[in-house]
Amino acid sequence: MPLVLTSVGALADRSTRRALLAGPGELHVTNGAIGGLDVLEAAAQTQALDTVSVTTSKAPGGLIQSWMDAEEIRRLNALSPADGPLTIFTGTPAEAIAKFPANVNITVALAWATRGLGLDAAADDELMAAALRRTRVEIRADARQRDSHHEIVAGGPAGDFAFSISSTPSPENPATSGLTALSVTRTLRACLEGLRRG
């Protein structure tokens, strides 16, 4: 039976990741609001990616978190379009998901797609741990930004890759993209199709 993971940030936690990989059933990870992962996954499966990074830009209001102090919140609320983008985070996907759990599941999805080819759950766990260390994340607050914007860059022996994706925020939750639900639906359709064929 397939298991579809929608809160992809859970893969950043090693004990949770190991439990998910152990099954039962086959784990399917949704891509969320980003694309191009099939190309990067193919390159990673031949150990042909050395660098992977994602820069996410969002409207300041969608990045405000409960852990932020009053000055940080004031600074984000005061940003104007003339200020340009303000980098508020740099680090790894695991660090990003801990600070911005509703905003950056895509960073962990990117690490998952670029982990390489594991032959079993233990190998997938180790590959994911390495991918989480390798993947670099930058988060920017930008008052000019109406959509969620993601710049993905990867490179290595397979070549150089760059993807630019802008997706409309969800009307129900401006911290995430409206495409996220469509990504989940696509993954569920693929699972159902696989069950019908099997």
CA distances to 65, 95, 148 from 84, in Å: 20, 24, 15
Helix H segments across 45-178?
70-78, 93-99, 105-113, 121-134
Tokens, residue 9? 């940030």
Neighbours of 159 (CB within 10 A): 11
Residue 165 near residue 34, CB atoms below 8 Å: yes
Burial class (CB in 10 A: 0-12, 13-18, 19+), 113: buried
Tokens, residue 162? 């760059």
Rounded (10°) CA dihedral 189, 190, 194, 197:
70
Q: Does 150 qualify as catalytic in the annotation?
A: yes
Q: Which residue of the set 17, 58, 149, 150 is catalytic?
A: 150
Residues annotated as part of the active site: 150
